[in-house]
Structure 1
Amino acid sequence: MSQLHIAGATLNQTPLDWEGNFDTIMQAVQKAKEKQVELLCFPELSITGYGSEDLFLSYWYPKKALAYLQKILPFTKGITICLGLPCRVSGKLYNCMAVVEDRKILGIVAKQFLAIDGVHYECRWFTPWIAGEVISFDFYDSSVPFGDMTFEKNGISYGFEICEDAWRGDLRPGFRLKDRNTALIFNPSASHFAMGKSEQREILVRESSEELEAGYFYINLLGNESGRMIFDGEILFGYRGEILVKNPLLSFHNYQLVHFNFPLEKPLTPVSNPIEHDKNEEFTAAATLALFDYMRKSRSKGFVLSLSGGADSSTIAVLVAEMVKRGIRDLGVPLFLEKIHRSDDIDPKSSIKDIIGKILITAYQSTRNSSTDTLQSAKSLAETIGATFHHWSIDEEVAGYTQKIETALGRNLDWSGDDIALQNIQARARSPIIWMLANIHQALLLSTSNRSEGDVGYATMDGDTSGGLSPIAAVSKDFILQWLQWAEKELRYEGLKGVNALQPTAELRPLESRQTDEEDLMPYPVITAIEKLAIRDKRSPADIYLILKEELSLESAPLKTYIRKFFELWSRNQWKRERLAPSFHLDEFNVDPKTWYRFPILSGGYRKELEEMDVLEE
């Protein structure tokens, strides 16, 4: 077999940033030319970005993508480039890869299967292409082959499975490519990050290279492209049932290029088989890159955080600090500051802690119900990571609101009859002042809700949910608790010692009540067990009871009580989930109705289904 110098380039793109996306592509093309690459493949929808949402429905948006493809043509002399973009044919939009060589388009391949589950809604915008069909496409008065086809270079045939195409079992296009004796198959993808997903991709690439008897080259998008979904920028190459190439994931750079000669007989870099995956490290890498991209793409000056000393806000504080450390490690201080638009007001000679202090502003907002333990926990963490720390009391504001209501009602409020209202006013009284601090610093206010709280509505709307971004809303509280232990030990955040010594509590009732989250709700691992079956697996209350009765060491009566409480609170609080700040998709599922799980705001609340559970034998 002849040899072909091939490359894959992952890109961090942004919808509507036409010139920025073009420049990133050009940087990768230039680097590929310097490395004497002959065939370069970019990810799916690399010109527009995958997260363009309903912009795809317009006629002008795909048309503009074609204009930028035309703009790229002059730079393809001596190299073949494969680029992703939307193309409209006879009123229907297709998700495509254009193959460009020596200033000409050789053909445009259209995706045959669309991703329509979880965070993906491709059927809203695109139409699947029919296998085997090829038509003529008018590209600036030139006739271009369009549809299902293969190509050849240096005597080596190559073709495409575009992302979801590869995950359709016996129906996948790869088997038809095999029948055509295709030696090299590219999989340009926009595959969202989720903890543990990289391992699934390795299996796909390894098995595909063996089953399809071809070199299998996987290239994914990179970064927090448009707000919620994160792409890890994974590049994998499989050959004869082995993974021979795997790049470092979740880079802070605009692009990564991996190149080698095909066929490749041995690993380009050390690749273990199977590769070990650590969810704590995956979570950290994804969340920090997502925060970095969100901050720079929104042109915010940093982050403001109400630091309570508890698990959730402490997790976010550490993630921001780690974002700075990892960004500087990848980019160096000058480029890091340039990317976040802080070159003018932060000295590049500053220490990492000083840079963190400019980017992360925190405040501990105490009431008479706050403990010295949480104050010291918050203060110690802020000091050890370098965050700016403020401390003030909101008792005066709470008293003012309370007195006005008491006057209006003509009675005093008390904890026996007004518990929820007295708790919530404390959380809500914190919101205006922390928003003011964020406005003054031109920063993003971070809200601290986690997925477990989202399940059951254990959050005060316009209180602790206030913010423009909710970084940990897609992960469970029990994951957060164990991650904090890991971060203290493995990332060496000694300021987490105080946090990890505390039991999670809202601290909204008088201290003598010894309020704890799990006492208010149920054990966090139980919430996680129920939500996985209810939300991820779509199981009924009765099914969940029968399954967890076998899996958990719980008596039937409390287990039924927990399941009932979960479903009642879930149904009652959908309106809260509709109003949560944008969050990152980080786990295998989430409860954000805008990205993963839609549920009616008004419903019967599982009454019949809970009755069916109750009659089951204990």
Structure 2
Amino acid sequence: MNPLRIACATVNQTPLDWEGNLNRILKAIAAAKEQRADLVCFPELAITGYGSEDLFLSYWYPQKALSQLAKLIPYCQGITVAVGLPVRMADKVYNTVAVIENGILKGFVAKQFMAIDGVHYEFRWFTPWQAHEVIQLEWQGEKIPFGDLTFHLQGIHYGFEICEDAWRGPVRPGYRLRDRKVDLIFNPSASHFAMKKTLERKELIEFSSKTFDCYYAYVNLLGNESGRMIFDGEILLAKDGNILGRNQLLSFQDFQVLIFTLENKEQNPAPIQAKEWEFVQASSLGLFDYLRKSKSKGFVLSLSGGADSSTIAVLVAEMVSRGVDELGLEKFLEKIGLVHSFQTEDPKKELVGLLLTTAYQGTRNSSEDTFNSAKTLAESLGAKFYSWTIDEEVSSYTEKIEKAIGRKLTWEKDDITLQNIQARTRSPIIWMLANLNQALLLSTSNRSEGDVGYTTMDGDTSGSISPIAAVDKHFIIHWLKWAEKELDRPGLAAVNSLTPTAELRPLENTQTDETDLMPYSLLVEIERLAIRDRRSPMDTFELLKTETDLDPEQLKGYIKKFFRLWSRNQWKRERLAPSFHLDEFNVDPKTWYRFPILSGGFEEELRQLDQL
């Protein structure tokens, strides 16, 4: 008997796109058949998409998923297919994998552990299944095995750990599958992308294959499925603690199929890329999927010449470059719904001009340096570039308030008010440009600003989507220098020569972000302890005082500033535009970190810090 040929198929799905989701699965099955696969495994919830949110709670949605499964089964002749979908029984919904062998539904495997941390809220929708329990589900006049099942094919005994099942240490189902002497474990997943997360997965899959003495196959969903989470489409196969195969992550394709022949120990895994590469590839794919799935015509960006907006401009240009390289120009245009006859010999640059419109919105407090930085970068990328000043509008607003309150506003008394009105005045006009272009307005806030509220609500936070809101400023500054060289973006030279500044105070005040806040390198360390690790102000101080050369009193001052600004600015984080989850954590209350809008602001904890 020939060794079993298995396929893992990742797919880029969208909630409620029933026809599209089914077609991508069918195309992947056809591709697996062409490569003589005996068995193909799809990711978790591939029929519906993982990001269906409270649709899972309805009665009709899981029923529709089962009707899609019925449409799929006739296409499974001559192959075994494992595919994820929700199944409702009475008032409970289960996250399952259906196994179809040669056109016959053999059973449903139900997930036993729910992901409930970070970006995941699975207990809201799904009920965990009990180990060892198997029942009969009545469906289409037949009784189908349902629960904790394993299967046999061509002498191979195989079973499943569904995503979170594998991350539960000594209680995970894999140990029980080992006791049942399985030869192969599949892990169909919907595991969100985070930079360098692939290293954790690699260790887990290597450990699993060795500990359970089996082949271990992992397959993840692909793409920006429903707005915030990006799935990297990772596929891995391991045996005896060694990775035998791995695909390249974050593809722009609708699906990828990777074939493995069991018994073949040849190792040919794709390399693991640097964090900087992962950031730009994930962001590019996220923007591409958001653009086409929202059926928008392009992007509009208020380009200040500084680090944040420049990062986003480069990400859009990289979206075009990488998408065209992988898909080809014709397929790229087809996927975004654009018809265009190219007029130049540089179609990528011309395409950036069609998809990205930028505007520099200056005031009397803006410098020639930032204008030149913005203009040079836009021209180097091929983006449309406009510039105008908003002094007249700012003066109009200011004069109306001065007349109403009976006094002049001054920088000595009204600093924040005079800064904010500039940032806020930029919003209506850039929104006009987005509306005219039927385009997505890109917000430029980063995670460090979100931590401490260093952002103007309805100003620089305005936007349809906020691509870098989950990434800290320290990383962005580092990435821009990397991108100038490694991505061959010479237009970033001027950006990288500037000190980050909001340019909202008079130029003679020499305003800089780090003077207003604290060094970004320190801010990210405080954030890591306070938000990611959920440490108290006291713990944060005790840990950082041994890691930094700062005077203890100065360090205390920065820590107090962080916690006070964090607690008083939750209302801003509640209103940020949707953002991509790109790092190990973020501060979006809708996806990672919830915090009360009103609180005591750590006052007691900060007083204890003063008593040291």
Give TM-score, length-normalised by structure 1: 0.98
Report the residue type matching 1:358 in the other structure.
L
Partner of 1:530: helix, strand, or coil?
A: helix
Aligned match of 1:295: 291
User: Which runs of no fewer than 5 residues in structure 2 stay unpaired?
Assistant: none
C-alpha contact (below 8 Å) 1:334/1:348 kept by paired residues: no
Are 2:333 and 1:337 aligned? yes
C-alpha contact (below 8 Å) 2:185/2:214 kept by paired residues: yes
C-alpha contact (below 8 Å) 2:247/2:269 kept by paired residues: no
C-alpha contact (below 8 Å) 2:344/2:350 kept by paired residues: no
Are 2:489 and 1:486 aligned? no
Partner of 1:563: helix, strand, or coil?
A: helix
Deviations along 1:204-261, one digit per CA (max 9) or x if unpaired, are 1111111000000000000000000000000000011100000010000000000121
Report the residue type matching 1:515 in the other structure.
Q
Report the residue type matching 1:221 in the other structure.
L
1:91-490 alignment runs, 5 A limit: 91-267=91-267, 269-270=268-269, 276-343=272-339, 351-490=347-486
Change (3 A) 1:176 1:348: farther
C-alpha contact (below 8 Å) 1:239/1:264 kept by paired residues: no
Report the residue type matching 2:430 in the other structure.
I
Change (3 A) 1:38 1:442: same
Aligned equivalents of 1:351 and 1:100: distance in 2? 45
C-alpha contact (below 8 Å) 1:2/1:155 kept by paired residues: no
C-alpha contact (below 8 Å) 1:333/1:348 kept by paired residues: no
Aligned match of 1:43: 43
Report the residue type matching 1:125 in the other structure.
W
User: Which runs of no fewer than 5 residues in structure 1 stay unpaired?
Assistant: none
Aligned equivalents of 1:451 and 1:260: distance in 2? 41
Aligned equivalents of 1:34 and 1:423: distance in 2? 62
Change (3 A) 1:291 1:320: same
C-alpha contact (below 8 Å) 2:11/2:25 kept by paired residues: yes
Q: How many residues align?
A: 612
1:539-550 alignment runs, 5 A limit: 539-550=535-546
Aligned equivalents of 1:394 and 1:66: distance in 2? 56
Aligned equivalents of 2:238 and 2:380: distance in 1? 44
Partner of 1:506: helix, strand, or coil?
A: coil
Deviations along 1:96-153, one digit per CA (max 9) or x if unpaired, are 0000112211010000011000000000000110000000011111110000011011
Aligned match of 1:581: 577
Report which stretch shifted further, 33-42 or 315-324. 33-42
Partner of 1:551: helix, strand, or coil?
A: coil
Aligned equivalents of 2:269 and 2:57: distance in 1? 44
Aligned equivalents of 1:167 and 1:278: distance in 2? 24
C-alpha contact (below 8 Å) 2:243/2:269 kept by paired residues: no
Aligned equivalents of 1:429 and 1:581: distance in 2? 18
Deviations along 1:177-220, one digit per CA (max 9) or x if unpaired, are 11111001100000000011001101111111110000000000
For the aligned residues, what is the CA RMSD? 1.2
Change (3 A) 1:430 1:10: same
Which residue of 491, 494, 506 maps to 1:498? 494
Aligned match of 2:511: 515
Deviation at 1:345, TM superposition (A): 7.2
Change (3 A) 1:348 1:335: farther
Aligned equivalents of 1:515 and 1:378: distance in 2? 19
Aligned match of 1:603: 599
Aligned equivalents of 2:577 and 2:269: distance in 1? 41
Deviations along 1:337-365, one digit per CA (max 9) or x if unpaired, are 11111125767986111100000000000
Report the residue type matching 1:447 in the other structure.
S
Report the residue type matching 1:514 in the other structure.
T
Partner of 2:213: helix, strand, or coil?
A: coil
Change (3 A) 1:276 1:231: closer
Deviation at 1:429, TM superposition (A): 0.8
Identity over aligned pairs, percent: 64
C-alpha contact (below 8 Å) 1:8/1:235 kept by paired residues: yes
Aligned match of 1:591: 587
Aligned equivalents of 1:12 and 1:394: distance in 2? 42
Change (3 A) 1:263 1:347: farther
Aligned match of 1:571: 567
C-alpha contact (below 8 Å) 2:541/2:555 kept by paired residues: yes
Aligned equivalents of 1:349 and 1:379: distance in 2? 22
Report the residue type matching 1:127 in the other structure.
T
Are 2:59 and 1:59 aligned? yes
